[in-house]
Amino acid sequence: MKKNVNKGFFGEYGGAYVPEMLTAPLQELSDAFDKAMRSKEFKDEFRSMLKDFSGRPTPLILAANLTKKLGGAKIYLKNEGANHTGAHKITHCIGQALIAKRLGKDKLIAETGAGQHGVATATVAAKFGFKCKVFMGSTDMRRQRPNVFFMERLGAEVVPVDYGSKTLKDAVNEAMKYWMNNIEGCHYVLGSVLGPHPYPTMNREFQSIVGKEIKAELLKREGKGPDAIVACVGGGSNAIGAFAEFIPDEKVVLIGVEAGGTGRKKGFNASRSEFGKLGIFQGYKSLVIQDEDGQIAPTHSVAAGLDYPGLGPELADLYERKRLGLVSATDVEAIDAFSMLCKLEGIIPALESSHALAHAMRLAPKMRKDQLLVVNISGRGDKDIFNIARALKDEKFGDFLKEEITNY
Amino acid sequence: MKNAKQIEIMAHLVAGYPDTGASLRLAETFAASGANILEIQMPFSEPVADGPTIVEACHVALKNGFRSKEIFAFCHKVSKFGVPIVIMSYSNPIMSIGIDSFCRQAVAAGVSGLIVPDLPFDSKEGEELLACSKKYGLNLIQVVSPSMSGDRLKRSIACSQGMIYCTTKRGTTGGQTSISADLKKVIEAIRKQSDIKIALGFGISSRKDVEAVAGLADIAVVGSALLRAFSSGGGEDAAAKLLKSMKPPLDR
C-alpha cells in the first residue's frame, strides 16, 4: 500500500490527486511511459522526430553584443525558439504523441495558455494523424489570436473556456473534465511539468534534451559547463528541461524567473515563491497562489504562458531544497529585455522568455568575465506581435490594424 | 438489493449559492420535499470533477462572498431541518482549514459524512483524513469508479464509511446517466464484499433515472438537475417540484 503513496513525489510535492475515474488511465499512461523509456525503438523514433521534424539540436548562440554591453559573464542563448512551431513545447508533444500511438489512442486533447503548446499539439496531431481538440481560456484566445488561427489551420478544434479567470488554469480544468468524459480513445497531452503523475516526470524526461544539448555544446566550445542557467517559469517545462541535466552538479547555479507582473502585491503577478502556499490543485500538490480560504487567487502577467497559479512540483522541491533560486521580472522589465535582445542580437524572443532575459541582464554584470551564463530562450516572439505592439504603443502598427480590418 | 420503494435520495446543493440565505432556504425546501440526505458542497474555485452547472454555482457563491469557514455555521443551521448532512469538498479548502480541525468542526456542526472527490484514499492526506474522521466520528465516504481495478476497489471499500459513492459513468457531474455493464459489475463486487450502502451519482435527473438505479443502489444522488431547475428561473419551487416528482410517487 505504501508503495503507491510516494509515486510521482518530489519531496513533499507532486503526487496524483485526482478523481478516482482518472486513476486507471493515469496508471495506464505511467506504465506506457515507463515501458517507452526502456524501449530502444521508442527512443530512436523520438530522437529521429526531434531531429527531422522539429529541427533539433537547437542552436546555442553566443550573445557577443549583449555580453559586451553588460560587461560580465559570457552569455549564451539556448534558442528553443528555433524549434518547429517556435518553442520548446513540441518536444514533449512528440514524446506524448508517440506514447498515445502505442496506447492505440486516436485523439489528442490539450490545454494551452500562450497557445504554443496548443499549436505544438495540433502540429503533432496533424503529423501523426490524430484528431485534436485544444482548450483555451477566452482571455488567452483574445491575447493570442494568431496561435488560435494556426491551430485551426492545422485541423484542431479550439474550444474557448469561458469561466474562472478564462486563462491557462481554466483550460487545464476543462481539458481534465473532457478527458474524464472521453477516456476511451483520447490522450490528454498536458503541456507542462504539472498536473498528476506521470506528467511532471514524463515531460521533464522529454524536455531534458535541452540541458543535455547545452552541456555537450558548451563542452565542445568552451571546454567546460555553464556557471549559471536562467529560465522563465510558468508551469516550468522549459526551465526543468534546461536544468535537469545540471541538478546533480551543485556548482551550476539554477535560476527560475517568475512573472513579476505589475507589482509585488498578490493578484498582480504570478510569483509562487513569494505568494504561493502548499496546496492541492489540478491533480498535484505544490506551491499554489491561493487565498486564506484555499481558493485559487487571481494572477497576472503580460505573458500568457506565465500567469499560472501553481508551480511544477519538481521545481517546488528544488526551490525548497535551495537547489533552485526563484526570482521575478515585471511586465515592463520583460518588454525592455525583449527590445534589447531584438536590437543587440537579432533574436525576437517570446514575452515569456523575455522574463528570463530580464533577470540575466541583472545577473550577468555581477558575474566574472570568465564565467558562462546560459539563458533559455524558450520560444520566439512572433505570437506576441499584437501584445508587444500595444505595449510599445507602436502607432504604425495600429494604423496597419485599422487598415487591415477594412479589407474584411 | 433495494427496490424502487426503498431507494433514498441524496439531494445536492452548493453552500452559498446564489447566496447564503437562499441556499439555506433551498436546503430547508429539499428537506421538506423528500430528500433523505443533504449533500452540501463547499464552493471551490476549481471544481475539476464538476460539470458547468455546479462550476457556475461555485463561482457565484464565491463571488457573493462565501468563505470556506462559514461551511460549519451553514451546516449547523441546516442540521435543524432534521435530515442527515454530508459535506462534499475538494481537498484544498479542507487543507486550508486543516484536516483535523475540519473534521472536528464538521462533526460539531452536525455533519455526518464527508466526500472529497480529488483525494485518493491511499494518499498521505487521504490517510490522515481517514484517521481524523474516525477520531471524531465522521463518515468518510469514498468515491469509486467503474474503471477501478479489483484490488483498488477492495481497498477503497475497506476504508469507506457510511456509504460508498459510485459514479454511474466515467465523467463529470451533470452529464447523461447510463448504466453500463462495468457499473453493474462494480456494484456486484461491492455487494459481495460489504453491506455498506451504495450511492449512485452523476447525471440522475428524472424519476425514470431514479427508477433505473433503484434496483441497483440504495441512494440516488441528484445534483445538477436540481440546480438547473432552481437556476433556470423556477427557484426553490421548481427544484422542490422536481425532487418530489422523483420520490413520492415511488412510495405509493
Residues B51-77 pLDDT 10s: 889 999 999 999 999 999 999 999 999
Taking each helix axis from N to C end, the angle separating A23-37 and A199-207, rounded to the nearest 10 degrees, works out to 30
pLDDT at B2: 46
Return the minimum-mean-pLDDT range out of A165-169, A244-248, A305-309, B175-179: B175-179
pLDDT at A2: 39
Percent of chain A at pLDDT > 90 equals 89
Mean pLDDT on A342-365: 98
- Where does the pLDDT of residue B169 fall: very low under 50, low under 70, confident under 90, or very high at 90 and above? low
Cβ atoms A69, A355 nearer than 8 A: no
> Does pLDDT of A3 surpass 70?
no
Model pLDDT for residues B96-138, shown as the tens digit of each residue: 999 999 999 999 999 999 999 999 999 999 999 999 999 999 9
pLDDT at B10: 97
- Where does the pLDDT of residue B204 fall: very low under 50, low under 70, confident under 90, or very high at 90 and above? confident
Residue in chain B lying closest to A15 (CA): B123
CB spacing of B172 vs A295 below 8 angstroms: no
pLDDT at B170: 57
Q: Alpha-carbon torsion B126, B132, B135, B138, what sign?
A: negative
Q: Give the whole-angstrom CA distance, residue A216 versus residue A212.
A: 6
* Sequence-distant (≥ 6) Cβ neighbours of residue B237 within 8 angstroms: none
Mean pLDDT on A246-271: 96
pLDDT at B252: 41
Question: What are chain A's domains?
Answer: 10-51+88-203 (3.40.50.1100), 57-86+208-391 (3.40.50.1100)
Cα–Cα distances (Å) from B107 to A82, A360, B95, B133, B136, in that order, read 58, 54, 17, 9, 7
Return the minimum-mean-pLDDT range out of B12-21, B78-87, B230-239: B230-239
Give B 118-137 residues with CB within 8 A of chain A. Answer: 118-120, 122-125, 127
pLDDT at A387: 87
pLDDT at B172: 62
Which chain A residues are Cβ-neighbours of B92 within 8 angstroms? 279-281, 288, 290, 294-296
Return the minimum-mean-pLDDT range out of A352-356, A389-393, B161-165: A389-393
Complex ipTM value: 0.93
Question: What are chain B's domains?
Answer: 4-251 (3.20.20.70)
Residues of B carrying an active site annotation: 39, 50
pLDDT at B202: 72
- Where does the pLDDT of residue B174 fall: very low under 50, low under 70, confident under 90, or very high at 90 and above? low
Return the minimum-mean-pLDDT range out of A131-135, A184-188, A388-392, B98-102: A388-392
pLDDT at A44: 98
* Sequence-distant (≥ 6) Cβ neighbours of residue B247 within 8 angstroms: B9, B33, B34, B210
Percent of chain A at pLDDT > 70 equals 99
> Does pLDDT of A238 surpass 60?
yes
> Higher confidence at residue A161 or residue B182?
A161
Cβ atoms B88, B12 nearer than 8 A: yes
Q: Give the whole-angstrom CA distance, residue A22 versus residue A13.
A: 19
The answer, for B56 touching chain A at a CB cutoff of 8 Å, is yes
Which chain A residues are Cβ-neighbours of B62 within 8 angstroms? 295
> Does pLDDT of A306 surpass 60?
yes
Cβ atoms B193, B164 nearer than 8 A: no
Question: In this structure, how many other beta carbons lie within 10 angstroms of the beta carbon of residue A255?
Answer: 21
Q: Which of B53, B36, B41, B26 is nearest to B2 (CA)?
A: B36
pLDDT at A6: 53
pLDDT at B180: 78
Cα–Cα distances (Å) from A294 to A34, A365, A387, A404, in that order, read 34, 41, 32, 46
Question: Alpha helix (H) ranges present in A38-166?
Answer: 40-49, 64-70, 89-102, 116-128, 138-143, 145-153
Give B 176-215 residues with CB within 8 A of chain A. Answer: none
Which of A9, A10, A20 is best to mutate for the B interface (most B CBs within 10 A)? A20
Q: Please report the DSSP string for A236-264 in residue order.
A: SHHHHHHHGGGTT-TTSEEEEEEEEET-S
Residue of A24, A163, A282 with shortest CB distance to B147: A24
Q: Which three cell numbers stand for residue A329?
A: 521580472
Model pLDDT for residues B183-203, shown as the tens digit of each residue: 889 999 999 999 999 999 878
Phi, psi values for residue A165, rounded to 5°: -85, 0
pLDDT at A4: 41
Q: Give the whole-angstrom CA distance, residue B41 versus residue B23.
A: 11
Model pLDDT for residues B143-152, shown as the tens digit of each residue: 999 889 899 9
Mean pLDDT over each residue of chain B, to the nearest integer: 91
Return the minimum-mean-pLDDT range out of B57-71, B80-94, B211-225: B211-225
Q: Which of B248, B247, B179, B97 is nearest to B87 (CA)?
A: B97
The answer, for A173 touching chain B at a CB cutoff of 8 Å, is yes
Q: What is the CA radius of gyration of chain B?
A: 17
Which of B14, B60, B116, B118 is best to mutate for the A interface (most A CBs within 10 A)? B118
Q: Give the whole-angstrom CA distance, residue A395 versus residue A399.
A: 6
CB spacing of A183 vs B147 below 8 angstroms: yes
Q: Which three cell numbers stand for residue A42?
A: 521508442
Q: Which three cell numbers stand for residue B219?
A: 441512494
Give the global pTM.
0.94
> Does pLDDT of A292 surpass 90?
yes
Mean pLDDT over each residue of chain A, to the nearest integer: 95
pLDDT at B79: 98
The answer, for A64 touching chain B at a CB cutoff of 8 Å, is no
pLDDT at B167: 84
Mean pLDDT on B212-225: 90
The answer, for B45 touching chain A at a CB cutoff of 8 Å, is yes
Q: Which of A375, A400, A403 is nearest to A386 (CA)?
A: A400
Phi, psi values for residue B24, rounded to 5°: -65, -45
Q: What letter represents residue B170's amino acid? A: R
A378 is catalytic: yes
Q: Which three cell numbers stand for residue A286?
A: 505544490
pLDDT at A114: 82
Which chain B residues are Cβ-neighbours of A296 within 8 angstroms? 45-46, 92
Biggest CA pair distance of chain B: 47
Residue of B49, B125, B149 with shortest CB distance to A19: B49
pLDDT at B201: 84
Return the minimum-mean-pLDDT range out of A205-209, B115-119, B209-213: B209-213
Q: What letter represents residue A140's amino acid? A: D
CB spacing of A23 vs B147 below 8 angstroms: yes
Q: Which three cell numbers stand for residue B180?
A: 453500463
